[in-house]
Structure 1
Amino acid sequence: MSKFVIGDIVDVTLAAGDAAMEIYGRDHEVALKEDASPVTEADLSVDRILVSALGERFPAIPVITEERISTQVAASGDGPFFLVDPIDGTKEFILGTGEFTINIALIENRTPTAGIVYAPAVDRLFVGQIGSGARELSRTGRRRDIRVRQCSGSMTAIASRSHLTPETKAFISANKIEHCVNAGSSLKFCLVAAGEADIYPRLGPTMEWDTAAGHAVLAASGGQVLTCEGAPLSYGKPEFRNPFFIASSLTATYSIPAPGKRA
C-alpha cells in the first residue's frame, strides 16, 4: 500500500467539478473521437486539470487517462498508477441528465486500492480506500460513512441508462430481480456501495477508466467486482478493456444465464 490518501485529492476533484459545471451550464462543443464516441470541452478541460495536479503532487506515480492515448503506455507490470476518466458518462453530460462523474483511481498490483467519484451536477462525492472504508461527502458539508447492505429476499439491481444490453436484461430476468433502476456513469457502483442497490450487472463493454474509481469505492464499502467466471476484475490489461462483470454486495447471490457473446 502506498502512502497516498484519497482525501488528499478531494480539493482537486472539486476544482475539476467546478470547471465541468461551467461548461455544462452553457452551449459547448462536442466532437467525435476515432471510435465514434463523443468528447466535449469538459472532458478536455478536466483532463488538463487532473493530469497537472496529480503530476505535481505525486510525480512518481504515472497518470493514465481516457483522453490521452500517449499516457496509456505508462502502466507496466504491477507498479502503481492513477487511472482517470475526466468525464464518465459523456452522453449523460451532453443530454443534461446530471448523471456524469469525474473518476480518479489508484491502481496497485493491478487492483483499485483508492478511488474518488464526483457527480458535481447532483452534489454527490464518494471516496473509498482499502483499509479506510468508504464515505460520501458533499459541498454543503454532508459527510457519512457508507457500506453495502445485507441482501435478503429480492434484490434491487442498477443498470446502465445508455447501455442496457440483451445480456443484462436476461440476467435481470433470470435472477428474479424485483426492482431495477437505471443510472449513468460510475454512480452505479457508488449506489451499490451506499446500500441503495444490491447488484450492478455490466454485461456489455467497458474500459478500465470507466470502472476503476467506482470499483475502489465499492470494494472499500465491503462489496466486490467479479468477472462472469468469478475472478476479481483486474487492471492494467491489454488495451485497458474489461470483460463483462458483476458488481455487488458480498451477500448478493446470483446466477449468470448461458453465455452469449461476451466482451
Structure 2
Amino acid sequence: MKRLAVLAVALIVAFVVAPGRLASAGAATGELRSEAGLVGTFRGEFVTYWGSGERGFGPGMQRVVDYWFRYHIAKGVLAAALLVVLVALGVTVWRAFLRTRGLQAAGLAVGGVLSTGLAVVSLAAVMANIHGTAAPFGSLLPMLFGTPAGPLDNTLGQVRQQLAAGQQSPPLDMITSDYVLFHAVMAVEGAVVVAGLVVLTVLLWRRFTRADGRTRRVLAGYGVFVPVLSLALAVVVVANTTTAAHPLPGLEGFFAGGW
C-alpha cells in the first residue's frame, strides 16, 4: 500500500513538471515550456497564419502545434499511469478497511475516498489529453483569449466577421475542422467511458446482492457514485455531439470570448 501511495505521489509530481520537458526534449522549443512563452508565441503565429490565407501551417505554427501534440502525449501517458496506480491503491485500501476496525478503519476510509476522487480527476485528465492529442491546434485556440492586443484583436475581429457572414477561407476551414474534431473525439471517448461505467455499475450491484456487512455498504456507496458519474458524463457526451454536428453556433460563441 505504501509503495502504491509513494508511486502515486511521484506520478502526480511528474504529471505537473515533466510534460513540458519531455515535449521539448531534442527540439528547439525551449521558450514554449513556460505558459507565457507558449501563449505569446501561439498568438503571434496565429496572426501570421490567418494573414497567410493558407490552410496549411507555416513552419512557426507547425512548431507550436507539434510541441503541443507531444505535450499532450506526455501528459496523457502520465495520467493513464496515475489512474492505474490510483485504482490499484483504492482497491488495496478498501480491502484493508474491511479487515480493520476503529480509528485505523476511519483513516483507511478517508484514504479510499481520496484515492477515488483522485482517480476520477486522473480519468478526466486522460480524456482531456486524448482529445488534445487528436486536435492539438483546436486545443490551443483558447489561448487566444485573455488580454489580446493590437494585431491579434484585429485578427479575431476578422474571424468573427467571417463567421457572422457565413464566409469561408482556408484558415477558417482549418479552424472549423479542428474544432469539430476536438468535440467529436470528446464525444466518442466520453461514450466509451460511459459504457464502461454502466458495466461497472452492473457488476457492483451484482456483488452487492451477494455481500453483507461493511462490504455491502462499500459496494452500495460505489453503486450510487458510479452511475451518477456516468450520468454527468453522458450530459457532456450529448453536448459535444451536438457541437460537433452543428459547429457554427459554438464557434461564434467561442470567438465571442466563450469556451
TM category (shorter chain) comes to: under 0.3
TM-score (norm 2): 0.24
TM-score (norm 1): 0.24
Higher RCO, Cα 8 Å, sep 6+ = 2
* Bigger fraction of residues in helix: 2
* Bigger fraction of residues in strand: 1
